[in-house]
Chains A and B, each alone.
Chain A
Amino acid sequence: MPETTPAPVLDGTRPTRALRLGVAGPVGVGKSSLIATVCRALADELRIGVITNDIYTDEDARFLRSAGVLDPERIRAVETGACPHTAIRDDVTANLLAAEDLERDFAPLDLVVIESGGDNLTATFSPALVDAQIFVLDVAGGGDVARKGGPGIGRADLLVVNKTDLAPYVGVDVDRMVADASAAREGRAVVALSRTDEASVAALRAWLLGVLERFRGGVHVAQDPGPMAPHFHADEEGGGVLHSHAEGDADHGHTHTHDDAHEHAHEHTPAH
Chain B
Amino acid sequence: MTFLAPHPSTVALLLADARLPGGGHAHSASLEPALRGGMPPADVPAWMVGRATTVSLVEAGTAVVAARLLADAGPWAPEDRDAPPAGGPDGGVDLGADLGADPGVDAVVRAWAARTPSPALRDASRLLGRGYLRVARTLWPRSAAVRVLVRHDAASRRPAGLTTGTTSGTTTGTTTGTGTLPRAVVLGAICAAAGMPPADVVRLTVYDDAQTAASALLKLEPLDPLAPARWVLDACAAAEEHVLRVAACATPEDIPSSGAPLTEGWAEAHALTTQRLFRA
Contacts and interface: CB of A to CB of B under 8 A. Distances in A.
Interface of A: 8, 55-58, 62, 78-83, 86-87, 90-94, 96-97, 104
Contacts of A92: 21
Interface stretch (B24-32, B56-64, B188-196): B24-32
A220 B219 CA distance: 39
A56 B25 contact: no
Number of chain B interface residues as a range: 20 to 34
Interface centre among A79, A83, A90 (most CB of B within 10 A): A79
A91 B23 contact: yes
Given A81-B219, A82-B277, 4 more contacts: A57-B274, A78-B26, A78-B279, A82-B219
Interface string B11-26: 0000000010111111
B140 interface: no
B242 interface: no
Interface in B229-280: 274-279
Contacts of A8: 88-89
Interface of B: 19, 21-28, 88-89, 127, 130-131, 134, 157, 216, 219, 274-279
Contacts, number: 62
Nearest to B28: A81
A90 B26 contact: no
B16 to A, nearest CB: 15
A79 B22 contact: no
Given A55-B277, A56-B276, A62-B274, A81 B131 contact: no
B275 A81 contact: no
Contact of A86 (B25, B27, B88, B89): B25
A246 B79 CA distance: 36
A81 B28 CA distance: 8
Contacts of B27: 81
B25 A87 contact: yes
A79 B21 contact: no
A79 B23 contact: no
A79 B277 contact: yes
B21 A93 contact: yes
Most B CB contacts (10 A, CB to CB) among A8, A62, A93 go to A93
A49 B21 CA distance: 24
Contacts of A86: 25
B275 A58 contact: yes
A93 B277 contact: no
A58 B270 CA distance: 13
A58 B19 CA distance: 26
A79 B275 contact: no
Nearest to B279: A79
Nearest to B219: A82
A97 B130 contact: yes
